[in-house]
A and B are shown apart, each in its own frame.
Chain A
């Protein structure tokens, strides 16, 4: 969203030289404890309020999900799923969805516009909309299906992890408002430690597969979940079990980029030096002796 922390950029989209990075800050994380979330959506409201965004009033789709999906104005949504355990017991799983702030962000890798996506040293991945060209490559690159293009201005939007608040030392709006303390914010190290205490507690209560969701396929994330069923993340409204940047995106933004330019460069040089070596292929400048060449016989 904004670039308040412009002296501590870790990465900048479509940029091959170093970004301003003299300042560095501690790696942060938001920890969402799904086991203590009551689905009140106060975080959705706080997000909308702090970021001063008002999504259009939608329609009831028959479930609690409202709005039913992320949008350019709704950067976080609660996803509700009814899960039946093997014993037949029903569990209501509620997951606060939004940007995961990957350590290796697919959106940033795919973005062609210099500086439209940045990653600060604290780990927050931020869209700088004034540099966004609206191509949607971030959607192509994202393993979590998070960025949304606004129909109003064709710019991509998503959760900023309240980079503007974090930049001045306060917690994200959703964290501040959560009435049960299910959302916490702090250094990633502290959040992992806090999660481990929660996991011990959950295991003591019989959730043997309780665990932390910090997927290593994307280098870990700066939004993490405590899940009661960490062995089956997909039961939480399709949370990716093993998210990673697609090999298609890696090839496109990895090997192909330098190889393509190399191929073009080599072609240009080969052509130039061929001309230097062989010279022009000029039929009309050749000796008159070859005139007979045109006397075609039938």
Chain B
């Protein structure tokens, strides 16, 4: 195959749902950080002030969860952890040093991407459940105060993990040239696929 041949990696629907989650994530993270740390309260200005930030944040969060649930259903089967993933993870030093030739062959997703997927699943579900438990004025009053306190703490912790892994996700997409184009326009070159996702390229060729 010609190395510059363009291969479809993401369909229009997959790209759209990814960016819907991304936009909702940015809005939820910025409004949530405004309410989390005094040093970031100024972010509430982006949402029309403190009360509006408080009103909007949970609705944005629910929108993010709904979009993520659709994306999760679409990508679930591509993210099953396999034996070769464990070997890939063991060689994390080769990963960060960009010695991809030493790594085991990667399918549609590498072990890092799969871990991101499962961390996102856990964080998103945690955020949804805990968020509802202290959503005022609608739901919080129905739950015992000890549960509300635990939910608040877990919500902040899960959001911290989510924000950190998404920062990593954004950097790795920036680092691995061609990835952002793949998610924006849907295609990658055969050379890109051969370097980063050789197993997936093999399947693509088999499928013709």
Residues of A within 8 A of B (CB): 14-16, 112-114, 131, 133-137, 139-140, 145, 149, 151, 154, 246, 248-249, 251-252, 256-257, 259-261, 263-264, 267-268, 271, 274-275, 278-286, 290-291, 293-296, 298
Contacts and interface: CB of A to CB of B under 8 A. Distances in A.
A14 B153 CA distance: 17
B177 A113 contact: no
Nearest to B140: A136
A294 B134 contact: no
Contact of B163 (A14, A131, A264): A264
A149 B137 contact: yes
Interface in B153-172: 153, 156-157, 160, 163-164, 167-168, 171
A97 B4 CA distance: 76
Nearest to B196: A283
Contacts of B37: 257, 260-261
Interface in B50-94: 50-51, 53-55
A274 B96 CA distance: 8
Considering the complex of A and B, which 7 residue pairs feature the smallest CB-CB distances, nearest first? A133-B50, A271-B171, A248-B149, A136-B136, A283-B195, A282-B177, A14-B38
Given A134-B54, A134-B136, A281-B177, A252 B192 contact: no
Given A134-B51, A291-B3, A16 B39 contact: yes
B104 interface: no
A154 B38 contact: no
A295 B1 CA distance: 6
B143 to A, nearest CB: 11
Contacts of A296: 1, 194, 198, 201-202, 205
6 contacts: A16-B38, A131-B50, A154-B137, A275-B171, A296-B194, A298-B202
Contact of B194 (A145, A282, A293): A293
Contacts of A14: 38, 41
Contacts of B34: 112
Contacts of A16: 38-39
A257 B191 CA distance: 44
Contacts of B140: 136, 139
Contacts of B96: 274, 278
